[in-house]
Amino acid sequence: MQVFIYQPPSLPWLDIRYADAHIVIINKPSGLLSNPGIAAHTHDCALTRLQQMYGEVHLVHRLDCDTSGIMVFARNKAAESHLKKQFEGRDTEKTYIALVQGDVQTLQGEINAPLAADKNNRPLQRVDANGKAARTFYEVLAHNPQHSRLLLKPVTGRTHQLRVHMQHIGHTILGDSFYGDATCQAAAPRLCLHAQSLSFQHPTSGKKLCMSSTPDF
């Protein structure tokens, strides 16, 4: 079993990219949980920080603790229901940027590999023929013999999907403390995975919103 050591960014602020009476969009830093865990020391997270700022705030989707990037939260139950239906119906559009080990030679591709929990090594996931369907499209943006920069477009939203899919094709994400070997972990000070953009329909106006941010790697 992996040991999770939580050391959230000490600054209490969040990078707010948009806010109105119905939603708030942030650029989550790496190292901050999306929502609280059971242990008291995990209660400092993006959700609770937003609740301290705005009062009523609801979680709609998650990013891994070590993943940075764009997230949307709901500020009332009606907005929460509307947004969750979009995510469940795969009506949102998400792109990620990742730095991975090695030179990815195939410049575009699809990874179609079902995932399931690794019961002997929680909270890790693994490729499993009997697992839940998981699909990811990728495009190589730049590459050299040491590492490659990829644009990732997940079709499904399984736990650790992008991390496991990259490991599955032999190009683990740099800085991955769960799935990377010692060399991979030492190659970067953080997990080099960033939710670059998120597009969805505003829950009341119906207008399409697209928010993006640039990774710090």
Query: Per-domain residue ranges for the chain?
Result: 95-193
pLDDT of residue 1: 57
Residue 61's pLDDT band (cuts 50, 70, 90):
very high
What is the reported pTM? 0.95
For strand 68-74 and strand 193-201, is the pairing parallel, antiparallel, or unpaired? parallel
Segment 84-87 long-range contacts (CB within 8 Å, at least 24 positions apart): 84/60, 86/200, 86/201, 87/60, 87/61, 87/157
> What is the DSSP secondary-structure string of 107-170?
SEEEEE--EEE-TTSTT-EEE-TTSB--EEEEEEEEE-SSEEEEEEEESS--TTHHHHHHHHTT
How do residues 14-55 score in pLDDT, each as one tens digit? 999 999 999 999 999 999 999 998 889 899 999 999 999 999
Catalytic residue status for 64: yes
Second CATH level (architecture) for the domain 95-193: 2-Layer Sandwich (3.30)
Catalytic residue among 64, 66, 118, 176: 64
How do residues 93-139 score in pLDDT, each as one tens digit? 999 999 999 999 999 999 999 999 999 998 999 999 999 999 999 99
